[in-house]
Amino acid sequence: MGYVAVKGGTQAIEASIERLKFERLKGQEVLDVEAIKSGMRGLIDQVMSEASLYDVGLAAIAIKQAEGSAEEAVFLLRAFRSTLPRKHVTRVADSATAEVERRISASFKDVPGGQILGASTDYTQRLIDFGLLSETKADALNFLSNYRSEDSTSTDLGALPKVVDYLREEGLLVLFEDDDQEPDDVTKMNLEFPTSRSTRLQMLTRGQTGAVISLGYSALRTYGAAHPTVGELRIANIPLYIHHPLFEACDEGEDYYIGDIKVTEVESFITTEQKNQLGKTDIQFSIGYGVAFGQNETKAIAMSILDKALQMKDSPLPVSNEEFVLYSIDTVESTGFISHLKLPHYVTFQSKLDSARKKV
Amino acid sequence: MKLQYNYAFFDEGSKREIRRATLKAVAIPGYQVPFASREMPIGRGWGTGGLQLTLSLIGNEDTLKVIDQGSDESVNAVNIKKLIVNTTGAPVTEETKEATLIQSRHRIPEEPLGSDQILVLQVPYPEPLRYIEPSEYVTKRLHGDKEYSGAWLMLFEQIMKHGKMATGADHAVFVHDRYLMAPSPIPRFDNPKMHDSEALILLGAGREKKIHAVPPFTKVESIAFDDYPFEVEQFTDKSCIKCGATHTFMDEIISGLKTVHQCNDSSHCLSRMNQEAV
């Protein structure tokens, strides 16, 4: 009979996992996934955006499993996303022809097509509605049957012109050639510096909401002229199409429609100085671009600031340093590495101790 | 909706891609090969680089051993083992000799490894020059130019300040006279085990998305000066309270009022005790 390893570790871990389940269920309520889908739009949108996986149903299960922790829910979805083969790339999607739910401009009062407020907390006072304590399903159904949707509007919500087009027509926008290069896929490569714009935009849109907002804010409140004007913020349902898998060259009529995604898209105007042909300096506008799955307005605006800041190579702003921003902004990377500090560091600490004790 | 995962978690395309990066790492010893690190069901910074290597390599003939800072029973080792076993059904062992694939966080086992074994190390910071140069763009070029004066200067400054080299774990090594490499935070005690190792050593950094390797029988030298030689951690006059070993890396354990020492490599300690018991 020899010595055997103590199995305490495994048992303790099993007990801890059991305890986690207990904490989720101890209130004797089972959270319905349908209820999460229907009533937790904000959290679902945030989680889908940070996970870069657009699936409301999966997000709802992840939120249930994570007991509402966004960090944990995103982690679950990202790990699941890793196991999915990528079979298709959609055709380029155009938000100009998408069905708009909300569309505002802070630059022009009278934009063609008008300001469409849609659903937003912007115009509410943040007072806790104690009435929600006793809200019943009957109340909800009653409200719904009386709710008059604004379908009667004469505006064609699928054909609202973009605000940038107006500036472009006026010649006030720095113009660029269309760049239809295949975008880089940050989930299939390691970052190489300097990065391409498609790399930066992907990293930003997957970024942790709080981190994107904080870093964007840091550019806004310090010196430097990164104060943008929101040219247009639109929330739209964009239809996605893929090529016919066998007939790549077919025209668009042969494409398959695979569903809609709801996105928040922001185009911010930032003034830049351009030398004209006479050698004088003109003031023109350039665009910072932000886009995020779901209704994620603050994040999308902050992203548009960061997009612009990252293009200002000689700027003294900390957020013009792409290694700093792109290496710090991902939720799975930051939360994973911070939380690893809870792991044992017996060996490494012993090595440090040895170094500290070693007398010369 | 219960979903089945593929053998070893990943889809086959992902595994192939990781293996390709691994082959490149083996071909260029000590060079950090960028790869498309996947998000894993365990935390980034918890060994996802090592885990991706292990999952891309494991097959039906493999026997797996996972250790975390010397222990087979540490929380993270248990968790990683569970994931691998759940998705592969691979047999697990705690005996270093029996394992064909050993994933380890911050230790190289005391038992010498053989040519039929692969050691996978988990790496938090793959870049040995990061303390000197914060930019990835720049460090990549420094390696290309074999421009390592920053690393020498850092050691020199430590000697000027403290009269000795003050490195802890993760003391950088030169691999085959070419690349300066972070050996992962193994104690200095383990650095010499990399030199001329019979086993293939693979190092994976999941968060930083890099793979590097020390192929078998490769020259590995810890960075040091002629007049200030490299030194491993000293356990002079110490012996393991359990197995009596005097030549192993030991944990310091505060037991009541006195400090005792115990082998850090728990499976090695156990097999020594069992040998004595026979």
CB neighbour list of residue A122: distance below 8 Å, 6 or more residues apart: none
Distance, first Cα to last Cα, chain A: 48
Residue A149 pLDDT exceeds 80: no
What percent of chain A has pLDDT above 90? 57
Q: CB distance B251–A346 less than 8 Å?
A: yes
Mean pLDDT of chain A: 89
- B47, B70, B204, B240: which is the annotated catalytic residue? B240
**Residue B88 forms part of a structural domain:** yes
| Per-residue model confidence (pLDDT) at position A244 | 79
* Cα pseudo-dihedral A326, A327, A328, A333, rounded to 10: 120
Closest partner residue to B207 (CB to CB) among A187, A333, A360 is A333
Interface confidence (ipTM) of the complex: 0.78
CA A110 – CA B165 distance, rounded (Å): 69
B70 is catalytic: no
**Distance (Å, rounded) from C-alpha A345 to C-alpha B89?**
29
Query: Residue B121: phi, psi to the nearest 5?
Result: -105, 140
Q: Say which residues have a Cβ less than 8 Å from residue A272's Cβ, sequence separation at least 6.
A: A174, A283, A284, A285, A286
pLDDT band at A8 (very low <50, low <70, confident <90, very high): low
3-state DSSP call for residue B105? strand
Average pLDDT on A84-108 reads: 88
Comparison of pLDDT for B46 and A49, the residue scoring more: A49
Single out the catalytic residue among B50, B70, B204, B269. Answer: B269
Number of H helices, E strands in chain A: 13, 4
pLDDT for position A39? 95
- Whether residue B227 lies inside any domain: the answer is no
Containing structural domain, residue B100? 12-222
**B256: annotated active-site residue:** no
* Cα gap A324→B78, rounded to integer Å: 34
Phi, psi (degrees; rounded to nearest 5) at A229: -110, 130
Instruction: Report residue A7 CA to chain centroid gap.
Output: 43
Q: What is the pLDDT of residues B19-42, one digit of tens each?
A: 999 999 999 999 999 999 999 998
CA nearest neighbour of A287 among A272, A274, A275: A272
As a whole number, mean pLDDT of residues B68-94 equals: 91
Higher pLDDT, B240 or A222: B240
In a 10 Å sphere around its CB, with 0-12 CB exposed, 13-18 middle and 19+ buried, how is residue A304 labelled?
buried
Both B24 and B87 in a single domain? yes
**CATH code for position B61:** 3.40.50.11310
Instruction: Say whether B243 is catalytic.
Output: yes
Overall average pLDDT of the A194-207 stretch = 96
Task: Report which of B121, B109, B99 is spatially closest to residue B70, judged by C-alpha positions.
Answer: B109
* Rounded Cα–Cα distance for residues A71 and A50 (Å): 9
Encode pLDDT of A241-288 as tens digits: 998 777 766 676 778 999 999 999 999 998 877 777 778 777 888 899
Same domain assignment for residues B165 and B242: no
Give the number of other CB atoms < 10 A from CB of residue A178.
Answer: 6
Classify residue B45: in a domain, yes or no: yes
Report d(CA A312, CA B193) in Å as an integer. 48
- Do B200 and B246 share a domain, yes or no? no
On whether both B216 and B241 belong to a single domain, the answer is no
Highest mean pLDDT among A106-110, B3-7, B266-270: B266-270
- Alpha-helix residue ranges (DSSP H) falling in A66-171: 70-81, 137-146, 163-170
CB contact set of A132 (below 8 Å; sequence gap of 6+): none
- Residue of chain A minimizing CA distance to B167: A355
Residue in the structure block whose two tokens are 């830049």: A272
Contacts of B37 in chain A (CB under 8 A): 190
Average pLDDT rounded to a whole number, residues A204-213 = 98
Structural domain count of chain B: 2
Are B243 and B266 in contact by the 8 Å Cβ rule? The answer is no
Cβ separation B69–A345 shorter than 8 A: yes
Within B149-265, where are the H helices? 149-162, 191-194
Are residues B173 and B267 located together in one domain of the fold?
Answer: no
Residue B125 maps to a domain: yes
- Give the rounded percent of residues in chain B with a pLDDT score beyond 70: 99
β-pairing verdict for B200-205 and B210-214: antiparallel
Give tens-digit pLDDT for B110-156.
999 999 999 999 999 999 999 999 999 999 999 999 999 999 999 99
User: pLDDT per residue over B179-222, tens digit each?
Assistant: 999 999 999 999 999 999 999 999 999 999 999 999 999 999 99
CA distance linking residue A38 with residue A31, whole number of Å: 12
**Does the pLDDT of residue A148 top 80, yes or no?**
no
Does residue B92 contact residue B129 with C-beta atoms inside 8 Å? no
Are B134 and B253 in the same domain? no
B268 and B160 in one domain? no
Mean of the per-residue pLDDT values of chain B = 93
β-partners of residue A269 are A229, A287
CB A268 within 8 A of CB A301: yes
* H helical segments located in A312-340: 322-328, 331-339
Hey, of A326, A330, A340, which one would you mutate to test binding to chain B, going by the most B CBs within 10 A of its CB? A340
Least-confidence region, from A132-146, A170-184, B238-252: A170-184
d(CA A144, CA A157): 22
Tell me how far CA of residue A223 lies from CA of A130, A217, A326, B130, in angstroms: 42, 12, 22, 29
Cβ pair B102, B96 in contact under 8 A: yes
Asked if B239 and B210 sit in the same domain, the reply is no
Q: Which residue of A has its CA nearest to B80?
A: A10
- Which pLDDT score, from 0 to 100, does residue A95 have? 87
Q: Tell me what percent of the residues of chain B surpass a pLDDT of 90.
A: 81
B149 plus B87 within the same structural domain = yes
B42 burial level (CB within 10 Å; 0-12, 13-18, 19+): buried
Task: Report d(CA B167, CA B241) in Å as an integer.
Answer: 28
Residue A133 three-state SS:
helix
pLDDT at A248: 65
Total beta-carbon pairs less than 8 A apart between chain A and chain B: 167
Tokens 């010595």 belong to residue: A3
* Residue B6 domain-assigned (yes or no): no
**Residue B140 exposed, middle or buried by CB count within 10 Å (0-12, 13-18, 19+):** middle
Q: How confident is the model at residue A295 (pLDDT cuts 50, 70, 90)?
A: very high
In angstroms, the CA A48 to CA B225 distance is 53
Task: Tell me the torsion sign for CA atoms A21, A24, A29, A31.
Answer: negative
Query: Is residue B228 in some structural domain?
Result: no
In terms of domains, do B97 and B195 share one? yes
CA B36 – CA B48 distance, rounded (Å): 12
Tell me whether residues A193 and B69 touch, CB distance under 8 A.
no
Quick one: chain A helix, strand, coil %, rounded to 5? 45, 15, 40
According to DSSP, the residues that pair with B258 across neighbouring strands are B255
Asked if the structure places residue B3 within a domain, the reply is no
Write the Ramachandran bin of B202: left for phi over 0, alpha for psi from -120 to 50, otherwise beta: beta
Beta strands of chain A (E only): which ranges? 99-104, 229-242, 256-275, 281-293
- Rounded Cα distance, B18 and B210, in Å: 10
| pLDDT of A334 above 50 | yes
- The strand ranges marked E within B109-153 are 118-122
Is B144 one of the annotated active-site residues of the chain? no
- Of the CA atoms within 13 Å of residue A41, those in its CB half-sphere come to 10
Together in a domain, B153 and B255: no
B55 in a structural domain:
yes
Strands A229-242 and A256-275: antiparallel
pLDDT of residue B1: 42
* Pairwise CA distance, residues A87 & B273, whole Å: 55
**pLDDT at position A268:** 93
Predicted pLDDT of residue A167: 81
Q: B interface mutation test: which of A350, A353, A359, A360 has the most B CBs within 10 A?
A: A350
Do B209 and B244 sit in the same domain of this protein? no
| Residue ending a domain, choose from B178, B198, B222 | B222
Active-site residue among B13, B30, B168, B256?
B30
- pLDDT at position A321 over 50: yes
